Amino acid sequence: MAKSPKKVLLGVTGSIAAYKAAELVRRMQKKNWDVWVVMSACATQYVGPLTFRALTDHPVAHGSFAELEQETYTHLGLSEGAAAMVVAPCSAQTLARLAHGFADDVLSCAALALDAPLLVAPAMNVRMWNNPAVRENAATLKRRGAIVVPPGTGELACGDVGAGRLADLDAIVRAVAKAIGER
């Protein structure tokens, strides 16, 4: 009997790189993973949930619990059975949220309820990325076993040059594959 595809949960947060998450969905689907998307409220200002719903054919939970239109325990259902969760792009705000165990939106609750590898791919301005608070949050997550896919270096959307670009999408896919025991 054919194995059912592995469920991979993609968290999308409020970074200008959020538009790249749509292509990331496609590349993950090419690995035959069943991709579900959860978004921060802020991320929905950059890309519409409908984009991800159309790409994944799954409902897209976003924001806080007051806004949920799906099942009551969406945050638990999202992480249940997931082979991995990857937050890409991961904003400085969400990095802090995850590092400190905050549970104030559906994305952070899903991450807390996750019983599988957590990957984060930070994307932000170079000065933000170089801020010790941001680095400490990344280090905290790493220490706890999360996989940090470091940002790339180059020209940033704001015009600055330096580290902070969302990592190459294929590098993110490779990191997820490795985390779930695939090549």
Ligand X SMILES: Cc1cc2nc3c(=O)[nH]c(=O)nc-3n(C[C@H](O)[C@H](O)[C@H](O)COP(=O)(O)O)c2cc1C
- Active-site residues: which are they? 158
Q: Return the residues of window 123-182 that contact ligand X according to CB under 6 A.
A: 123-124, 128
Amino acid at 2: A
Rule CB under 6 A: say whether 93 interacts with ligand X: yes
- Answer yes or no: are the C-beta atoms of 60 and 28 closer than 8 Å: no
**b/e per residue 1-21 (b: at least 16 CB within 10 A):** eeeeebbbbbbbbbbbbbebb
Nearer to ligand X, 83 or 166 (CB): 166
Alpha helix locations (H) across 115-182? 126-129, 132-143, 169-179
State the number of binding residues for ligand X (CB under 6 A). Answer: 15
Binds ligand X by CB under 6 A, chosen from 9, 17, 126, 173: 17
Nearer to ligand X, 56 or 94 (CB): 94
Cis peptide before 117 (omega within 30 of 0): no
Nearer to ligand X, 17 or 180 (CB): 17
Interface region with ligand X, contact rule CB under 6 A, candidates 7-15, 23-31, 64-72, 110-118: 7-15
Number of helical H runs and strand E runs in the chain: 8, 8
Q: Return the residues of window 25-64 that contact ligand X according to CB under 6 A.
A: 40, 42-43
**Contact residues for ligand X, defined by CB under 6 A:** 13-17, 40, 42-43, 91-94, 123-124, 128
